[in-house]
Amino acid sequence: MSSEHLEFVGDPLAQLERALIEEYLQRRGHHLKDVPGLPSEQADALMKEASAYASGRLSEVETRAHLVSDLHDASEPLGSRPAHKPR
């Protein structure tokens, strides 16, 4: 197993980020493993775009997760709710 693969195994958000970057690159007709072979300016621009895309999608996922959590908390009977802890 490569060290690059090990880097993402322990962190689900890192795995998702990498998948989103790969998704963006594939939509643009590229693969992550091929980016280092591109001209430097093109590779940098492509990775900046892919990172911005992944960042936006990760924010969306986190926002939805908080919304679902808040909805679940709100649907619990009052007596069973733990004291509210600010985030």
Q: What is the DSSP string of 25-84?
A: HHHTT--GGGGGGS-HHHHHHHHHHHHHHHHHHHHHHHHHHHHHHHHHHHHS-GGGPPPP
In a domain, 86, yes or no: no
pTM to 2 decimals? 0.66
Q: Which helix (H) or strand (E) holds 87?
A: none
In a domain, 84, yes or no: no
- Domain residues for the domain of 23 are 3-74
**Is residue 81 in a domain?**
no
In a domain, 83, yes or no: no
**Within-domain flag for 80:** no
Question: What's the structural domain count of the chain?
Answer: 1
pLDDT digits 0-9 by tens, 61-78: 888 878 887 777 777 665
Q: How confident is the model at residue 82 (pLDDT cuts 50, 70, 90)?
A: low
For CA atoms 4, 8, 14, 16, give the dihedral sign: positive
Could you read off the pLDDT of 3-60 as tens digits, one per residue? 454 455 568 889 999 999 999 999 999 999 999 999 999 999 999 999 999 999 999 9
| Residue whose entry in the numeric block shows the structure tokens 């195994």 | 9
